[in-house]
Structure 1
Amino acid sequence: MSEKVEKKQNALWENIKVIVQALVLAMIIRTVLFQPFTIPSGSMMPTLLVGDYIFVNKFAYGYSKYSLPFSPDLFSGRIFGSEPKRGDVVVFRFPPNPEVDYIKRVVGLPGDRIQMIDGVLNINGQPVPKQPDGSFNSDYRLDPGQDVPVFRETLDTGITYDTLDQSPNSRGDNTREFTVPAGHYFMMGDNRDNSADSRFDVGFVPAENLVGRASVIFFSLGNDTTFREIWRWPANMRWDRLFKVVE
């Protein structure tokens, strides 16, 4: 074998090793630290918009089988677990079909009593303060929402966030009282009249199903612009949302 051929083979092998190492590192980061997610629906408007790309902090609540690619059944429950705080925005696996990811806000912790009364969130018998905070217009084609009333809720922990109330008499505005069982959480979307959440088919979310806490918006495209449509980026980039912390 000539020296020239041997050098080419060594260079090829070094390149392969670099690529493999990069893939392994990316897999470790995605599995253990942060995972990117895309917001596909308007259920968390105005906090999160369709076309937002976010990083999810996967070590915030520890790890379950759903933290791993393909969700292998290596262990049950959570390891290095910690409890989410009321008000956290969380990615979790949909309990009836764990292959599907959902993103909602935690409003009920284990043992809490949750009820909607006339569009007001009640936690343990106490109404959450709700103040008008302007209006909202969406650029999402499937859920346009023009001049939708915005209300700012403030939890007893001091966490505050905006919600939408498009209709004063939707089916989710008055519910029975839900008592959150041990090891579970009650989730709601900030777009209160357009969110499939724990009031409905989602039900109580087991701690094992938590994937991580939404941390930051790193990219955002409006007007139903897909990531592949690079030529539409300049006109539809939501510059004011880049690197915005999710609250």
Structure 2
Amino acid sequence: MHATKLEIDSNGLQQKTEVPKNNTKKEIIGWVKFIFFLTLAVFVIKGSVGFTLVAGDSMQPSLRDGSLVLVNKLSATFSEPKYGDIVVLEEAGYDVIKRVIGVPGDTVSIEDGVVYVNQQPLPELHTIGEANNMPAITIQPGKIFVMGDNRTPGESLDSRDPNVGPVSIENIKGYATISIFPFYKIAKPLKL
């Protein structure tokens, strides 16, 4: 099926030319390209960012129950966790959000509710509650020591529990960067 198109030549006369109504081959190629690039974009985005929903009060006051958090997955591939990072870990099939307190080689202890890393008290303004005492633990290579910001006993299942202990760095799925809904910045700790 063809359509006609009127063209004006150099003499000012109108000529009728036949133009194909649709070019099926070009259309199919266009759709294939679109689907390819859309699929590629989805994989890139899915591999570099994600979202997780905070459930519970273990990260209060930094993260609130029900907050939707943006997760930087790309950094989990290319960087090592540092003190104060909030990580999303996969533990027993669930996503768990905790703060990094100790990295490989650090010694972590708790005395009179104060957390010590390498015998230095942590300056913490982003926590609530008071943790129970814990004898010194040295973090092995490939592991990190994590805690919830809610230090009240029983509020956070974290590395203080002997059944959990230091967790594998390989379990890190990403780093929490910002709360999307409700929108707020995530509190960062003071420097050691």
Q: Specify the code of the residue in structure 2 equivalent to 1:25.
A: A
- Counterpart of 2:52 in 1: which secondary structure? strand
Q: Deviations over 1:81-127 (max 9, x none)?
A: 42211011111122xx2x22111000001111111112110111222
Of 80, 87, 91, the match for 2:88: 91
C-alpha distance 38-113 of structure 1, shift in aligned 2 (>3 A): same
Matched, 1:121 2:121: no
Give the number of aligned pairs: 168
C-alpha distance 179-28 of structure 1, shift in aligned 2 (>3 A): same
- Who wins on radius of gyration, i.e. which is larger? 2
Of 91, 94, 103, the match for 2:97: 103
Distance in 1, Cα, partners of 2:32 & 2:68: 30
Q: Unaligned 5+ residue runs, structure 1?
A: 63-80, 130-152, 154-160, 221-241
Distance in 2, Cα, partners of 1:41 & 1:13: 49
TM superposition shift of 1:36: 1.1
TM-score, normalising length from structure 2? 0.75
Matched, 1:244 2:185: yes
Q: Deviations over 1:29-59 (max 9, x none)?
A: 111x211111112110110011211111112
Q: Deviations over 1:164-220 (max 9, x none)?
A: 11xx5xxx4111211110111000000112100001132211121111111111222
Identity of paired residues, percent? 35
Map of 2:6 onto structure 1: none
Task: For 1:12-23, list aligned pairs within 5 A.
Answer: 18=34, 21-23=37-39
CA contact (8 A) 1:111 1:179 kept: yes
Distance in 2, Cα, partners of 1:103 & 1:11: 47
TM superposition shift of 1:14: 5.3
Map of 1:191 onto structure 2: 150
Distance in 2, Cα, partners of 1:16 & 1:39: 39
Query: Which structure has greater strand proportion?
Result: 2
Distance in 2, Cα, partners of 1:9 & 1:53: 44
Matched, 1:30 2:46: yes
CA contact (8 A) 1:89 1:246 kept: no
Task: For 1:67-216, list aligned pairs within 5 A.
Answer: 81-94=78-91, 97=92, 99-129=93-123, 153=124, 161-165=125-129, 172-193=131-152, 194-200=155-161, 201-216=163-178
Q: Alpha carbon RMSD of aligned pairs, Å?
A: 2.6
CA contact (8 A) 2:62 2:186 kept: no
CA contact (8 A) 1:214 1:246 kept: no
Q: Specify the code of the residue in structure 1 equivalent to 2:83.
A: R
TM superposition shift of 1:244: 2.6
Distance in 1, Cα, partners of 2:23 & 2:114: 71
Distance in 2, Cα, partners of 1:208 & 1:128: 25
